[in-house]
Amino acid sequence: MIKSYFGIEKTPFSNEHVELLKHQQSIFDILKVHSQQGGFCLLMGQPGTGKSTIRDAIISQSDKLTEIISISRTLHTYRNTIKILCQAFKIEDVGDSFKCEKRLIEEAYNLKRKGKNMIIIIDEAHLMTSDTLRKLRLLLEDFPKNYNLILVGQSELLHQLSLKVNEDIASRLTYSTTLKRLTSDDIRDFVSKQLDDAGLGHNVFSDDAINLIIRSSEGTLRKVRNLCLSSMVEAVRGAKRVIDIDIVNSVLIQPHWRLQSDLKTMEV
Q: What is the mean pLDDT of residues 238-246?
A: 96
Residue 186 CA to residue 256 CA, distance in Å, equals 24
| DSSP β-bridge partners for residue 69 | 120
Asked if 243 contacts 213 with a C-beta cutoff of 8 angstroms, the reply is no
Would you say residue 3 has pLDDT above 60? Answer: yes
pLDDT confidence band for 266 (50 / 70 / 90): very low
Residue 150 CA to residue 125 CA, distance in Å, equals 9
Comparing C-alpha atoms, which of 173, 112, 174, 114 is closest to residue 143? 112
Residue 252 has a CB neighbour count (10 Å cut-off) of 20
Domains in the chain, CATH or no CATH each: 2-7+182-262 (1.10.8), 22-178 (3.40.50.300)
Q: What is the mean pLDDT of residues 45-61?
A: 92
199: left (phi over 0), alpha (psi -120 to 50) or beta: left
Q: Are strands 66-71 and 39-44 parallel, antiparallel or unpaired?
A: unpaired
| Amino acid letter for position 86 | C
Q: What is the mean pLDDT of residues 79-86?
A: 93
| Residue 55, SS3 per DSSP | helix
CB burial class (10 A; 0-12, 13-18, 19+) of residue 62? middle
pLDDT digits (tens, 9 = 90+) for 197-227: 999 999 999 999 999 999 999 999 999 999 9
N-terminal to C-terminal alpha carbon distance within the chain: 39
What's the predicted TM-score (pTM) here?
Answer: 0.86
pLDDT digits (tens, 9 = 90+) for 157-185: 988 888 888 888 889 999 999 999 999 99
pLDDT digits (tens, 9 = 90+) for 111-151: 999 999 899 999 999 999 889 999 999 999 999 988 999 99
Output the CA–CA distances (angstroms, integers) from residue 102 to 86, 91, 137, 207, in the order listed.
10, 11, 15, 59
Q: Which residues in the chain belong to E strands, given as ranges?
A: 39-44, 66-71, 117-122, 147-153, 175-178
Comparing C-alpha atoms, which of 240, 228, 236, 158 is closest to residue 190? 228
Would you say residue 44 has pLDDT above 80? Answer: yes
Rg of the chain in Å (alpha carbons) = 22
Would you say residue 268 has pLDDT above 80? Answer: no
pLDDT attached to residue 17: 65
Would you say residue 110 has pLDDT above 70? Answer: yes
pLDDT attached to residue 246: 97
